[in-house]
A and B are shown apart, each in its own frame.
Chain A
Amino acid sequence: GALVYQYPRRTICKSGTSMRMECQAVGFQATSVAWYRQSPQKTFELIALSTVNSAIKYEQNFTQEKFPISHPNLSFSSMTVLNAYLEDRGLYLCGATDWGGKNTLYFGAGTRLSVL
């Protein structure tokens, strides 16, 4: 079956420091990877959509300078939160899709970021 492993599950960083989270797709080709942040109210904010062999598209209010993303192959993607501050706290989710398959979006377990 299709699985997406995301790690770390939880992380705590000091204000102004950076942290990196990674996603690994197993059982399918992650043609596209979307990174979301879920607010305490449970709403999904799309940070960026990365499609292999295409430019990464960032949504309004999110920038590459703040959330650099790497998507080097069809099984792996990473995102870094640079200079994390209190407003960056939340649950970060990666979702991977195989556009050549069922187009289903599979989520990783999420990385919960706390900032001290």
Chain B
Amino acid sequence: QQQVRQSPQSLTVWEGETAILNCSYEDSTFDYFPWYWQFPRESPALLIAIRPVSNKKEDGRFTIFFNKREKKLSLHITDSQPGDSATYFCAAWGNTGNYKYVFGAGTRLKVIA
């Protein structure tokens, strides 16, 4: 059973547009949601993260919008750049005793110049 789901599987936007990546989860005990990005032939790196005490987290062109009631969150990338082309992973973690991070399957973003 997939606890963290991401959509779309792949996304192509033009340079300058806003890319919207979606994530949903099932376990209401999750209380930390990091997004990782991964470039080809590299390992995932932490991009931005949010905790449910907030419904929005912003870092430059990257913003997470969080809806706790619907168990959904989204990553918005404004003014997308070709260098943003990567695979983006939504992850979730909860203090339920097993201390496991659960990852979504990823969204492959391509930004065309």
User: B-contacting residues of A (Cβ < 8 Å)?
Assistant: 6, 32, 34, 41-44, 46, 49, 51, 57, 91, 93, 95, 97, 99, 103-110
Among B12-20, B57-65, B100-108, the one that faces the other chain is B100-108
In the bound complex, CA of A97 to CA of B108 (Å): 26
Is the CB–CB distance between A109 and B43 below 8 Å?
Answer: yes
Secondary structure of the A side of the interface? strand
CA distance A109 to B41 in the complex (A): 10
A97 to B95, CA, bound (A): 13
- List B residues at the A interface (Cβ < 8 Å): 32, 34, 36, 38, 42-46, 49, 87, 89, 91, 93, 98-101, 103, 105-106, 108
Known: A106-B46, A107-B43, A107-B44. A34 touches B101 (CB 8 A): yes
- Alpha-carbon distance A99/B95, docked complex (angstroms): 10
Contact call B45/A99, Cβ cutoff below 8 A: no
- Tell me how many residue pairs across A and B have CB atoms closer than 8 Å: 48
A103 adjacent to B106 (CB under 8 Å):
no
Residue of B nearest to A108 (CB): B43
- Chain B residue numbers with a CB within 8 Å of A105 are 34, 46, 91, 93, 101
User: Are A104 and B98 neighbours in the complex by a CB distance under 8 Å?
Assistant: no
B106 A43 Cβ-Cβ under 8 A: yes
Whether B34 lies near A42 (C-beta < 8 A) is no
Determine whether the beta carbon of B101 is less than 8 Å from that of A110: no
Query: In the complex, are the beta carbons of B44 and A93 less than 8 A apart?
Result: yes
For A97, the closest partner residue in chain B by CB is B99
Contact A109 B38, beta carbon cutoff 8 Å: no
Smallest beta-carbon distance B50→chain A, Å: 12
Known contacts: A93-B44, A104-B49, A109-B43. The answer to whether A51 contacts B99 by CB under 8 A is: yes
Instruction: Other than A34-B101, A93-B43, give 18 A-B pairs with Cβ distance below 8 A.
Output: A6-B43, A32-B99, A42-B105, A42-B106, A42-B108, A43-B103, A44-B103, A49-B98, A49-B100, A57-B98, A91-B43, A103-B93, A105-B34, A107-B44, A107-B45, A108-B43, A109-B42, A110-B43
